[in-house]
Amino acid sequence: MYKFKKTKSFLYALIISVLTLCCQKALAQDDSFVPCQVMPMLMTNHQADMGDLVRYYSPSNAYRWGRISDSGGSQERRDRIIVLNEKYLAELDKINFSELPQECKVDYILFKRDLKHEINEAKKHAKIYTEVKSWFPFSENIYQYLKRRRRGYQLDAKEVAKNWNASAKQIDSLLPLLKEEQSLDKDQVQEAVLVIEDLKNSAANVFSFYNNYDPMFTWWVPTTYKALDSSLATFKTTFEAKLENKRPVDKSGIIGYPVGRNELVKQLEYEMIPYTPEELIEIANKEFAWCDAALLKAAEEMGFGKDWKAAQEKVKNAYVAPGLQPEAMLKLYNESIAFLKEKDLISVPPLAEETWGMQMMSPERQLVNPFFTGGTNITISYPTSGMTYEQKMMSMRGNNPHFSKATVHHELIAGHNLEGFMNNRYRTYRNYRTPFWTEGWSLYWELLLWDEGFPSGPEDRIGMLFWHMHRCARIIFSLNYHLGKWTPQQCIDFLIDRVGFEPANAEGEVRRSFIGSYPPLYQLAYLTGGRQFYALREELVKTGKMTNKEFHDKIMRLNSMPIEMIRAILTDQELKENFKTSWQFYDSID
């Protein structure tokens, strides 16, 4: 029996050893392999901790570009998040950076960058809050009950009604003073609006918890809650009116917030883009000149000489009849996916092909998204029955098949749809959401497919050039606007005259850029990020170090991050803990 046990143990040990060696070999070849444990664990735990804090200390969750964060409102919540982030910075300081594998060095650099950024942003908001705090002497009358409500303590309903009634009257007495106040700047007004929104949500959270469940609360509080909520709404509107007076308005009616050069430079540094706004505008103008030359060539092939606008008009008028746009988009998708496979450019998971969907864009969304968008679904922009004749024609012409051929792959595969599919499966602990990766990757495929001969004739090339010029224009008009040099109407006119936009589509594009939820660098991230990927391919694929498929598949399994950090991983670049952006990626582009 003893001999049998010994033999059995030996066999078990041998089997485990073989399996371990096989697993190690498989992991070495598997791009889903996590290169170290310490960084993924820290990052995963931080995301979970942050989610719990925001959930607990806020009446509603706050998300910003895929990262849970706090941008204003409750100082209690903000202080708690600062403590959390400082704790994780201390954890990072315990790690020996030099001993980390390359990927984990990248995670260390980026995670530390984000923690410091979020602490600095929170402290900036805290400073602004102290400047406007005197307008909210009643805030504790709301927050004290939110704190008790979290643990379900029974409230003194009569006291709540008394305090909320007094708070509503106090707000009403502050309104005349606020209307006369002239010293509040943009940041202070925006912070005040965030505070009011948080107070409204907090009062609503308390009310919805106790009302109809606590009989005394239900008897005392509803009328005073309604008055408080109304007073807060008026307070918010009054603050917002002061903000409207501080924003420049032109005949377009589009009102935004130019952030200024200093903020642009700060955000470019954060995104690891080592160029100034002025340099990016100059580069975009040079790339625009290349588009101009290619556009004239296509116009000549179509028999229009140098009249590119006439050639573009013919392309625009190739729109499909009402009801046929979804099938036209499916046809373009089939063409693009077949091209990707024929050229063996990237691995396409069968499930990704199987599960992408379609939606039609609402008329309301088309006001700010004149073209289709993508991701899990492609959302098709096309006229609805209630639009005017002019609106219908501009939408059909602006979404003609030749224009759309340039971007179906941008929205689906190998663009946004594949991005999301792969990000949900590989390196899921990474949360470095950046438009330079998200939009840059999708735009890169437009550049690559042009080089690979995807457009089948001059009409298709004019369609692809429309979008290439569009992305050049986005850099030029968005930066000039935020530098305070252009008005929204100048941006609209630029798109119409220089790119060939339909007027309504140009207005929608500019409105989308400046009054939506997009950060100031978002519009320039398309072509800038695309050029980063393009330059990296020149460095690794054109030199024979990787095949197209190897290059693209590796990137898709690294998840979203600043592209300079992808380069650091793929080229095994020496990294230091105090890394600063330096990659002049435009130098390698002809």
Is 70 exceeded by the pLDDT of residue 2?
no
Share of the chain above pLDDT 70, in %: 90
Digit-coded pLDDT (tens) for 12-26: 444 334 333 443 433
Flag whether 511 is in a domain. Answer: yes
Q: Which stretch of 226-230, 251-255, 304-308, 543-547 has the lowest confidence by average pLDDT?
A: 251-255
What does the pLDDT read at residue 92?
A: 97
Share of the chain above pLDDT 90, in %: 73
Residue 250: pLDDT band with limits 50, 70, 90: confident
What does the pLDDT read at residue 590?
A: 60
What does the pLDDT read at residue 407?
A: 84
For residues 148 and 155, is the Cβ–Cβ distance under 8 A? yes
Q: Which of 212, 246, 280 delimits the end of a domain? A: 246
Residues 284 and 235 in one domain: no
Is 60 exceeded by the pLDDT of residue 573?
yes
- Distance between CA atoms of 396 and 315, rounded to whole angstroms? 11
Flag whether 254 is in a domain. Answer: no
Residues 109 and 146 in one domain: no
Flag whether 258 is in a domain. Answer: no
Residues 375 and 277 in one domain: yes
Residues 308 and 408 in one domain: yes
Please state the φ and ψ torsions of residue 379, each to the nearest 5 degrees: -105, 115
What does the pLDDT read at residue 160?
A: 98
- How many domains does the chain fold into? 4
What does the pLDDT read at residue 149?
A: 96
Digit-coded pLDDT (tens) for 37-48: 999 999 999 999
Residues 466 and 555 in one domain: yes
CA dihedral sign of residues 265, 267, 269, 272: negative
Q: Which of 84, 103, 131 delimits the end of a domain? A: 131
For residues 206 and 153, is the Cβ–Cβ distance under 8 A? no
| Closest residue by Cα to residue 418 from 368, 462, 373, 376 | 376
The 8-class DSSP code of residue 167 comes to H
- Distance between CA atoms of 454 and 457, rounded to whole angstroms? 9
Contacts of 255 (CB under 8 A, 6+ apart): 244, 247, 248, 249, 488, 514, 515
Q: Which stretch of 60-64, 113-117, 399-403, 462-466 has the lowest confidence by average pLDDT?
A: 60-64
Residues 298 and 390 in one domain: yes
pLDDT mean across residues, the chain? 89
Digit-coded pLDDT (tens) for 144-194: 999 999 999 999 999 999 999 999 999 999 999 999 999 999 899 999 999
What does the pLDDT read at residue 25?
A: 38
Per DSSP, what are the bridge partners of residue 373?
379
Q: Token pair of 563, please?
A: 């592209």
Residue 488: pLDDT band with limits 50, 70, 90: very high
Digit-coded pLDDT (tens) for 264-285: 999 999 999 999 999 999 999 9
Max Cα-Cα span within the chain: 96
Q: Which stretch of 87-91, 301-305, 322-326, 332-336 has the lowest confidence by average pLDDT?
A: 322-326
Is 60 exceeded by the pLDDT of residue 457?
yes
Flag whether 255 is in a domain. Answer: no
Residue 246: pLDDT band with limits 50, 70, 90: low
In terms of residue numbers, what domain contains 479? 263-588
Residues 294 and 151 in one domain: no
Task: Residue 163: count other Cβ atoms within 10 Å of its Cβ.
Answer: 19
